[in-house]
Structure 1
Amino acid sequence: MKQDIANSKRFGLKIHALLIGIDKYKEDPNNVATLAGCVNDCNDVKAWVDESFTFPHTMLLQNHEATRDAIIKQIGDIATSKYIDRGHPILIYFAGHGAQVEPLKEWELPSERNIQMCIPYDFSLKPIDGKGMGILDRDLSEAIAKVAKKKGDNIVVILDSCHSASGTRGEAEVNRAIKVPSDYAKSASLKKEDFSPSGDTMNCSRASSTTPTNHILLSACREDEWAKEKLFGKEKRGIFTQHLFTKLREAETESMTYGELILSLPLAEYQHPHCDAIDKDRIVFSLNHKRREFHSIDPPNQGNPRYLQLGAPHGVQKSDCFLLFKEDKFSSESCVGEGSVVDLKGFKSVLQVPQKSDPAFAVRTIQSPSISIIVPEEVLEPLPPWFLKLGVKLVTQADQTYEVLKLVKDENRVKFEFLNAEHSVAETHLHSWPLEKDSLVRLFHQMGHFYHHLHHTPGPILSIPVQVSIVLLKDMEPIDNSDTILSPSIPVKVLADDEPRYGFKVTNTSNEGIFFSLFYFGLRQFNIDALYNPPTVASGAPTACLAPNESKTIGYGNPGDEGFRFSLEESEESDVGYLRLFFSCQYLDFLHIRRSNLFHEERELSVSGRGLGKGRMSRNLPQQSIVSDSTPLTTGALTFPIVQLPESKMGGHLVCIHQPEGFLPPSV
């Protein structure tokens, strides 16, 4: 009986939901307008939670209950709740007014460095001694970071509010935003440093900060838009919430990612919701990702084109080729041929497929491999012919390819040795891998994918419009004069130790806006970790990640940030990885290229014990939206080698640039 009950719920067993809806405020309605749909939204979200989870635990805060102290306390209580185990889903929902706080004119800061805040019931336009304050974005970030530290990062934050006030409200639609006085920062006792990460008041904007890694953020609109509510039937509702939870009630959303969910909302007429998170490719309300090697193909629909869930913002161009599969696994039984892109449609592509093949998944082919692997004949023979299109060239003796590895049989497993590489890497034994055919195909594909995205330059670089620095941190604050500007292809040595923390800073040195994605490539495990990626927005004009001469801090600058650390396994004397920056003047979304550590995955080990250890990062971003036409993406890329060494080899330094001839390989 209990099993039947569990199976009847669509999204699982447990969830902890904190649902906040505020229509009426303590402040004069002439200053903070009364809303009509927030409590209705809150009640509908509760109904959805009850429908979707077997044992939901829900806390409602509505109208006068939703004071600033009560909201912060309830978020804090989640961290200590015995009801929620680590990894169980947590939902924090807010419907109400939002606002932006401008810096004081005498601070002479750029106007875009506003602080966003949610407006609680007891908000006052003139707070006294902290009473009547809004919930600043930094306060929300800090509270969520504490929850994530205790309960894990399966946290979804939904904000149906906005931060731009219009000053006028029509009868049909009401905006969920208020305008605060220009001197609100003074009455709220805010300081100049509050408007810049880590007190950097030069050119690091708080508004242009890092992608959340400890929660999923779903927001109703871009920062320059209004979250609206209107009449649906006989009751007022927030347009975003109404469409979002209508979609979540559809069966297909059980297998959707958060990014796909936002793209499915038909709201371009009103506002442009966005999804911001490093893990926006997770299946909704779970810790599971779709297999990143395989990209979904829409099912056939009465002769309509077959759409691939990958498009121009992902670097896809017309005539690109894809292997087609019935299932998301590498096997000859699943592979049904090859297709090509004939048109681009925003986040999708029109894929031409063989008749009667009916594929469900596609894997991008790599026409020019960047790696050769020397393999014995007995390993080469059983591999399927389509395998040759996955980015690895198998040979029986060394050739002049950019990278060469050698496969060595070890009973029923295989190991690999580096024979040569860009910086004369010496022999290095990697972890072993099963010898089964399908398992080897998966490994070879990841290796080909790794080297392709590490070495392939999407387009000619006429000039370099960005500058990347590594920053030393102490107590999560940048150490004075510790910025080390990285040079492409010139290695930087860092101390591999759990104690030192590092951050990165990306600066736009051009006179135009720049979009970028930042990844770490781990050479020993062929993993690709995402450090920064723009959010997904349903439609509309794109807003650049970096304005001209603006910087973005990654890994530091806000409560909850923990920076990055480098570490070695006990048997290692050194390791090497690569920082890889993709940039463009158009919107890009390269999150699909990241890959987990296959060796640790296969051995069921944790990935946090070596290489780059990622700290928590949780801050609001300027909202980017997708390219509205089918223009192919023109992208440049820069690579920065990072050598990780123990203290005995660092000569007392924490960061040191040295020339390629001094480049040290990873070794066992």
Structure 2
Amino acid sequence: MRPTNKLKEMCLGRLPRAMILLNDNPFSFRSPTPSANDGLRDQDNLKTIWSSPVFALVIGINAYQSRNRLNGAVADANAFDCFLKERFSSTHVTNLRDAEATRENIKSAFTSLRRDPRIKSGDTIIIYFAGHGARANISDRWVGWKPQDSQMEIICPVDIGVPVGADKKPIGGIPDRTVGVWLNNLAKEKGNNITVILDCCHSAGANRGDDNSYIPRQILNPPDISHEECYTWTVDPVAENHRGAGVPSAFVGQNQESHVLLAACGQTELALENNKRGLFTGALLDVLSQSDLHSLTYESLIQKIKIPEDKNQNPHCQGRHRNRLLFNAHFTRADSSLIPGFKKSGIIALNVGQIHGIKESSHFAIYGSIASSASSIPICSLVVKSITPTTSNLSSLDGSESFDVPSQFYAKEISKEMIQVYCEDEDKLTSMLARAFSNGNVPSLEAAGVILVQSAKSAKLRIGIEGDQVAFYRQDDDLALFAGHRIPHIVSVDNADGVLEVLGAASRFQRQLGTTSAMPVTMELRKLRRDHAFSEDFELITILTPIGPNLIDDNKVDMVIEPNAVFGATIHNHTSLHLYPYLFYFDCSDFSIIPWYVPPVGADGRHVDPPLPAKSRFSIGYGNDGAPPYEFFLPEGEKKDVGFFKLYLTTCPTDLSYISQSSAFENARGGRPRQQISPSPNVWGSNLVIVFMKDA
């Protein structure tokens, strides 16, 4: 889709004013800005992960005390335990098998991890569970937010259903909210280098009875979660001869910041076992045993997992840090502009398209690996020959096929739409930037998506060289009338690479903000009320509930700052299409594009569950989506600011990490590529909301 003329004008937006005022809130989450140390600038540093200790909790249950037995969960747990001890030099594993894996022992094991003095902040923590799972209905009298389908996911300890006490009340499962609280508290104590692997499932109904050689890991038809259990999150499922399922959204915790989740399948699917082994764990360990873990991210791992398509089991990966290297909190991808691609049956394709601002004229440099891209010597250069909303097919410039492109590769765009920049002292600017060009990362302004113009009136961004500082000015009069022309950050004149980074970020910011396609989907933004309660484990739980009116009016927001205010969004799908929503915040003060919500990614390019089915709604920042509530804040020392929410919508899961970028003034590269093949049908749309911020 071509952007409208009005939106094309927006380097920093040319839209009606709105106002939002923001303040600090210790219970909310500010979108993180990666530091410069997040990049893979020193490959030798990757070796440090293997000498660092790894702490793990590995649970496997076959012999349920009052429910149907499984065959392969214990073998899966044993195999995963062996993998840890073979591949890591220092491992500390707590193993729970069968009778050991009671509800109380699982809870105690989480507590022990949190209290273990050997675990330092940032150490690797891995939690693996293989066994039964289920979904339970929530009582009509449930207090506070309730999922749209009124069900909650649980994992099943070995003693689930066993009657205890004088009243013979059966022991319940462990609801996702309880697991989420445990993980959040663990992350607060030990950092967010936590990986959760679930080879269990929950399902919405019938099991796969057409193939007796495959057994689902699932318990069916649990009774409702009672009103009395509202703040304790306990549940009593009923047994069935299966092992349970899917991406339990709340298992990612109240905040996707806490860990990365690898789940065996989707919400309406079953996690199968066969020949006394689970399909997911078997496929997972196959990839891990054959891969260089120093260069494997969570998303590239999930993409490599192969499960037969006729089994209708699609593993998922979810979490804010899924672009990190596996089990490593300190490193992300070396270059955020790298896009994963694939060559299959003679077709060379990228997982970016119209929604990313790519055009048929776009050119890409091709690299064989992340590491080889650092040398700046590409295998070849290719051009987009055909494009869909979410994918691009490439060919050589002359149509030949004499180049050798590997089956999996990385691409970097080398042709971009330009942002017009004006500097009164152009000679001084070009002389300064020549130092950055000599470093070889970006050979020219054009390669960074920047063109110098002779008039400030025709520019989208103005640069001022003021003594030993470089300042940046908005040229949009509408936005400047509210927030001023000057952007509240400066760069030293000695930091030519930093100036070039800001210009490149401004160019990407303008292009992504201007790429639009209308779709009948609406968004609401509301303040959230926080209620606090203690769980049965005496953990403090925060329940977030939307209150007050919708703050979005005619795609604008007017809001006065309140101390400790947090917000949530509700997306309403008025179409007959099942949609995947991606919500980003575009910060005009530093050109960052920060994701608020992105759906999970699936294995081997397959579909994941659509979060926004036809004629439905989806909450972000509260409820079961796993995203944190949103908090707005002003740059230090500023009284006003402007930003945009942009909601992208697709009918197929796709890779929008190419859109993300962190603050241009932090010397950090934003956006984290991943591989995702998007099958037809393929439709996309977007909604844009402008946010003006002003101090009270």
Quickly name the TM-score band, shorter chain normalised: 0.7 to 0.9
- Asked if 1:76 corresponds to 2:111, the answer is yes
Give distance in 1, aligned partners of 2:410 and 2:348.
11
Give distance in 1, aligned partners of 2:108 and 2:85.
23
* C-alpha contact 2:180 2:253 (8 A) present in aligned 1: no
Match of 2:573 in 1: 508
- Asked if 1:279 corresponds to 2:279, the answer is no
Match of 2:638 in 1: 572
Superposed counterparts of 1:190-339, under 5 Å: 190=229, 212-231=256-275, 236-269=276-309, 270=311, 271-287=313-329, 288-291=331-334, 293-296=336-339, 305=346, 307=348, 310-311=351-352, 315=356, 319=360, 321-324=362-365, 334=377, 338-339=381-382
Would the alpha carbon gap of residues 170 and 274 (structure 1) be closer, same or farther in structure 2, given more than 3 Å must change? Answer: same
Superposed counterparts of 1:132-531, under 5 Å: 132-164=171-203, 166=207, 168=209, 170-181=211-222, 183-186=223-226, 189-190=228-229, 212-231=256-275, 236-269=276-309, 270=311, 271-287=313-329, 288-291=331-334, 293-296=336-339, 305=346, 307=348, 310-311=351-352, 315=356, 319=360, 321-324=362-365, 334=377, 338-342=381-385, 350-353=393-396, 361-364=410-413, 367-374=416-423, 376-380=426-430, 382=434, 387-401=445-459, 403-408=460-465, 410-411=467-468, 414-424=470-480, 425-433=483-491, 435=494, 437-457=496-516, 459=517, 461=518, 463-475=519-531, 476-477=542-543, 481-487=547-553, 489-495=555-561, 497=563, 499-531=564-596
Shift of 1:257: 1.8
Would the alpha carbon gap of residues 368 and 421 (structure 1) be closer, same or farther in structure 2, given more than 3 Å must change? Answer: farther
Once the two structures are superposed, what CA deviation does each residue of 1:391-435 show, in whole Å capped at 9, x if it has no partner? 33322431435x333242543x52222243542342324423355
Give distance in 2, aligned partners of 1:217 and 1:171.
29
Would the alpha carbon gap of residues 312 and 114 (structure 1) be closer, same or farther in structure 2, given more than 3 Å must change? Answer: farther
User: What secondary structure sits across from 2:489 in the alignment?
Assistant: coil
Structure 1 unaligned residues grouped into runs of 5+:
1-5, 196-204, 608-624, 650-668
Give distance in 2, aligned partners of 1:585 and 1:298.
20
Shift of 1:385: 6.6
Superposed counterparts of 1:522-561, under 5 Å: 522-538=587-603, 539-540=605-606, 543-557=609-623
Give distance in 2, aligned partners of 1:358 and 1:386.
26
What TM-score results when the alignment is normalised by the length of structure 1? 0.77
Shift of 1:93: 0.5
Once the two structures are superposed, what CA deviation does each residue of 1:224-263 show, in whole Å capped at 9, x if it has no partner? 11111112xxxx2111001101211223343122112111
Taking only the aligned residue pairs, the percentage that are identical comes to: 24
Residue 565 of structure 1 aligns with an amino acid whose one-letter code is E
Structure 2 unaligned residues grouped into runs of 5+:
1-44, 235-248, 532-541
Match of 1:65 in 2: 100
* C-alpha contact 1:274 1:536 (8 A) present in aligned 2: yes
Identify which range, 445-454 or 248-257, moves more after superposition.
248-257
- Asked if 1:23 corresponds to 2:73, the answer is no
Once the two structures are superposed, what CA deviation does each residue of 1:615-664 show, in whole Å capped at 9, x if it has no partner? xxxxxxxxxx9765355x43222222223333xx2xxxxxxxxxxxxxxx
Give distance in 2, aligned partners of 1:479 and 1:223.
24
Would the alpha carbon gap of residues 84 and 14 (structure 1) be closer, same or farther in structure 2, given more than 3 Å must change? Answer: same
Would the alpha carbon gap of residues 630 and 319 (structure 1) be closer, same or farther in structure 2, given more than 3 Å must change? Answer: farther
Would the alpha carbon gap of residues 569 and 587 (structure 1) be closer, same or farther in structure 2, given more than 3 Å must change? Answer: closer
Would the alpha carbon gap of residues 574 and 120 (structure 1) be closer, same or farther in structure 2, given more than 3 Å must change? Answer: same
Task: Tell me the matched-pair count.
Answer: 593
* C-alpha contact 1:542 1:627 (8 A) present in aligned 2: no
Once the two structures are superposed, what CA deviation does each residue of 1:527-552 show, in whole Å capped at 9, x if it has no partner? 11111011111255554321344332
Give distance in 2, aligned partners of 1:373 and 1:519.
28
* C-alpha contact 2:391 2:677 (8 A) present in aligned 1: no
Match of 1:99 in 2: 134
Would the alpha carbon gap of residues 523 and 136 (structure 1) be closer, same or farther in structure 2, given more than 3 Å must change? Answer: same
Once the two structures are superposed, what CA deviation does each residue of 1:261-305 show, in whole Å capped at 9, x if it has no partner? 11111114331111112222121111222145332566999xx85
User: What secondary structure sits across from 2:109 in the alignment?
Assistant: helix
Shift of 1:84: 1.2
Shift of 1:583: 1.7
Give distance in 1, aligned partners of 2:509 and 2:55.
38
Match of 1:53 in 2: 88
Shift of 1:191: 5.2
* C-alpha contact 1:21 1:95 (8 A) present in aligned 2: yes
Residue 295 of structure 2 aligns with an amino acid whose one-letter code is S
Residue 20 of structure 1 aligns with an amino acid whose one-letter code is I
Give distance in 1, aligned partners of 2:349 and 2:620.
32
Residue 277 of structure 2 aligns with an amino acid whose one-letter code is R
Residue 191 of structure 2 aligns with an amino acid whose one-letter code is G
Candidates 105, 113, 118, aligned match of 2:155? 118
Would the alpha carbon gap of residues 628 and 559 (structure 1) be closer, same or farther in structure 2, given more than 3 Å must change? Answer: closer
- Asked if 1:641 corresponds to 2:690, the answer is yes
Would the alpha carbon gap of residues 371 and 477 (structure 1) be closer, same or farther in structure 2, given more than 3 Å must change? Answer: farther
Greater RCO, CA 8 A, separation 6+: 2
CA RMSD, Structure 1 to Structure 2 (Å): 4.0
* C-alpha contact 1:208 1:546 (8 A) present in aligned 2: no
* C-alpha contact 2:101 2:157 (8 A) present in aligned 1: yes
* C-alpha contact 2:572 2:617 (8 A) present in aligned 1: yes
Once the two structures are superposed, what CA deviation does each residue of 1:43-89 show, in whole Å capped at 9, x if it has no partner? 11111111222221110011011011111221122222211111122
Give distance in 1, aligned partners of 2:122 and 2:513.
32
Match of 1:655 in 2: none
Give distance in 2, aligned partners of 1:492 and 1:520.
16
Give distance in 2, aligned partners of 1:346 and 1:185.
42
Would the alpha carbon gap of residues 487 and 63 (structure 1) be closer, same or farther in structure 2, given more than 3 Å must change? Answer: same
User: What secondary structure sits across from 1:517 in the alignment?
Assistant: strand
Would the alpha carbon gap of residues 10 and 194 (structure 1) be closer, same or farther in structure 2, given more than 3 Å must change? Answer: closer
Identify which range, 377-386 or 326-335, moves more after superposition.
326-335
Would the alpha carbon gap of residues 595 and 576 (structure 1) be closer, same or farther in structure 2, given more than 3 Å must change? Answer: same
Shift of 1:436: 5.2
Give distance in 2, aligned partners of 1:397 and 1:550.
49
Once the two structures are superposed, what CA deviation does each residue of 1:440-471 show, in whole Å capped at 9, x if it has no partner? 433322221112112221x3x2x532222232
Shift of 1:101: 1.1
